[in-house]
Amino acid sequence: MIEWIIPLLIAGIILGIFYFLEFSGLLRIFDKTGDILNYPMAFFTGVIASLSSCFAVVGSIVIAFAVTWKVDSKENQYFALLKPNLLFHTGRIVSFFILGGLLGLLGGELIISSHTAAAVNIFVSLIMLLLGLHIIGLIPSINAFGIKMPLILTNQMSSLKKSSRLLAPVTLGMLTFFLPCGFTQSMQIFSLGSGSFMKGGLYMALFALGTLPVLFIAGVTAMFAKQSYFVSLKRAGAILIIIFSFLMLTSGITLLNNKPVTKTNAIESITANEPVQVVTMHIKYRGFTPEVLKIKQGVKVRWEIYGDEVTGCTNAILFPYANIQVKIPRNEVTIVEFMPAKKGYLPFSCWMGMVRGVFLVE
């Protein structure tokens, strides 16, 4: 147990810093992706994204492939540590430019259904969980369970352990474009509205470039963690992977339980002299305020949603009971009306499933 004290302390400190930055709103003050008017802001948004909830998604993958990468003993040690990370980010930046450019040409709005996001969340979280348990030695390689990554990611997980397979980190970097992250999708939507291949490509490439410093440091640090004198750091990284995998799994399950929804800004309407109960909710950087809204059964509800501090994650709310996905513009009030027919709990969440709230019908 003594050998686990330092790893737990390291993981606890990193996790504490992560949650402080995430819920204090210090990072998301600059999350104004919908208002980006220049390329420097696209880059800065990437920097902010790499320090936010997106790190739980992309950072886990970076750490996972870094600690499982097989270093060629004939190579220079420092080059061997840098190579997979350089390849990963090369694939990431190039793919973001190409796909961002295609989105610019498309000129429409990118829509990812809640069930698609749920499937990706659950799949990635389970793989990350198994990798984390394997890194700390609790289970064998996930290939021992007969589990293999899809061909589009890599032929099998063992390819990540072979330094000769240079395509593995490049492919992983390219596929991070499709991972569920509020910042990433916000930039994708912005690229769609750019109207040109070059603008859309540059916005996405600069965004990916902004995430590079933090993700690169995380990957190189994880590579060092493979050395015997960095065992504590390796275990701390595994602990963080496991924790983040559970967070992703929870959000995935939340989204999976949501029935298909209709995209709209309001439902029904209140007629004259009809009794109505008004509930107010504000969207802050730390989530929904309040998270629990008490309402009465059988009385129509007018739900006023104030988009004070809307982010890439909270720019849309899923409300399965009313069968809607409502978009939340920044600094505007969105109205949703519905009739609570029975007592109980009516949950709702952001489109990623990371921020949740509930109506308590009494």
Query: Is residue 36 located within the same domain as residue 137?
Result: yes
Task: Tell me the C-alpha distance between 101 and 194, whole Å.
Answer: 9
pLDDT of residue 279: 94
* Nearest C-alpha neighbor of 200 from the set 316, 39, 50: 39
Q: Tell me which residue range forms the domain holding 95.
A: 2-256
Mean pLDDT (10-residue bins), the chain, 362 residues: 76 76 58 51 74 65 66 61 80 92 70 63 72 73 52 44 58 76 71 77 90 80 55 71 76 67 49 78 88 92 90 79 84 91 90 83 92
Domain count of the fold of the chain: 2
State the amino acid at position 173 in one-letter form: G
* Nearest C-alpha neighbor of 32 from the set 333, 329, 341, 245: 329
pLDDT of residue 149: 44
Task: Tell me the C-alpha distance between 288 and 307, whole Å.
Answer: 10
pLDDT of residue 359: 94
Last residue of a domain, one of 214, 241, 256: 256
Query: Is residue 273 located within the same domain as residue 221?
Result: no
Strands 324-327 and 262-263: parallel
Task: Tell me the C-alpha distance between 43 and 62, whole Å.
Answer: 20
pLDDT of residue 195: 67
Query: Is residue 101 located within the same domain as residue 157?
Result: yes
Query: Is residue 132 located within the same domain as residue 148?
Result: yes
Query: Is residue 102 located within the same domain as residue 215?
Result: yes
Q: Which residues face 326 on adjacent strands? A: 317
Query: Is residue 240 located within the same domain as residue 172?
Result: yes
pLDDT of residue 163: 41
- How many CB atoms lie under 10 A from the CB of residue 262? 10
Task: Tell me the C-alpha distance between 201 and 305, whole Å.
Answer: 33
pLDDT of residue 141: 59
* DSSP annotation string for 293-333: EEE-TTSEEEEEEE-TT--TTTSEEEEGGGTEEEE--TTSE
Last residue of a domain, one of 233, 256, 279: 256
Query: Is residue 278 located within the same domain as residue 206?
Result: no
Q: Which two tokens stand for residue 15?
A: 């996790």
pLDDT of residue 302: 93
CATH number, domain of 336, equals 2.60.40.420
Query: Is residue 83 located within the same domain as residue 196?
Result: yes
pLDDT of residue 97: 94
Query: Is residue 239 located within the same domain as residue 331?
Result: no
Task: Tell me the C-alpha distance between 258 and 314, whole Å.
Answer: 16
Specify whether the CB–CB gap between 187 and 41 falls below 8 A. no
Query: Is residue 237 located within the same domain as residue 252?
Result: yes
Query: Is residue 192 located within the same domain as residue 316?
Result: no
Last residue of a domain, one of 198, 228, 256: 256
pLDDT of residue 37: 44
Query: Is residue 246 located within the same domain as residue 128?
Result: yes
